[in-house]
Amino acid sequence: MARYVLVHGAFHGAWCWEPLVAELSAAGHTVQTFDLPGSGDDTTPVAEVTLDAYAARICDALADQPEPVVLVGHSMAGVAITQAAARCPDNIARLVYLAAFLPADGQSLVDLSQLPEGAGDMVQANMVVAGEPPTGTMPAGAAREAFYGRCTPEQAAWAIERLRPQALAPFVTPVALGDGAARRPPCTYVLATDDRALPTALQRRFVADNPGLDVVELEADHSPFLSRTSALAAALDGLSTA
């Protein structure tokens, strides 16, 4: 059995993993989730929400584990787990990018989202930015289409009610991998074929730009942990023996 640490994406919190945690736990795996700084129930001030803070939170969580884990990052958290892996690679058995941004050294989420394959990104098209330091919010209707297109109305309503404003500093900060780039653990990309938040074409670009990735495709929206819970659990379960 494997140990999984699941890291949520922008606007979300640890709550989004609840259905998946139940399935992985029922299969005998150990699963840990937590809120990134400023997300979910975490009260970190917006000014202190940075990519560095994200990586530190992840590495702190991994330090509590007795053995290397399968580290799963969704969407924006692909950037966060990439930065964390450069800092604490020995604590990670495998990185899993779930419909996630996958940056190279010196790239930020914003850099990746501006690639031609990112056209049609419903997050950039609908996010409302305000405040200083700035945060972004997703209107409920846009969130339904961008994040939960294949979810039931009940699943979507449950999730939308829990979304929070997202600090934007981690979006614009490039990853700095240093010597950690050469020590990156094995990686798997779980590609969502009906994604309107992180366009599927852009996910395929990440796969093409990173030879050696193991790739799993799911007929899913941007939130397979809700819309395709059993299929995602099966895919992750398969990694426990990879």
Tens digit of each residue's pLDDT, the chain (242 residues): 899 999 999 999 999 999 999 999 999 999 999 999 999 999 999 999 999 999 999 999 999 888 999 999 999 999 999 999 999 999 999 999 999 999 999 999 999 999 999 999 999 999 999 999 999 999 999 999 999 999 999 999 999 999 999 999 999 999 999 886 667 899 999 999 999 999 999 999 999 999 989 999 999 999 999 999 999 999 999 987 55
In this structure, the number of other CB atoms found within 10 A of the CB of residue 182 comes to 9
- The distance of Cα 30 from the centroid of its chain, to the nearest Å, equals 19
Domain covering 3-239: architecture: 3-Layer(aba) Sandwich (3.40)
Pairing, β 166-167 against β 135-137 = antiparallel
Confirm if 37 and 44 have CB atoms less than 8 A apart. Answer: yes
pTM value is 0.97
Residue-by-residue DSSP string for 63-86: HTSSS-EEEEEETTHHHHHHHHHH
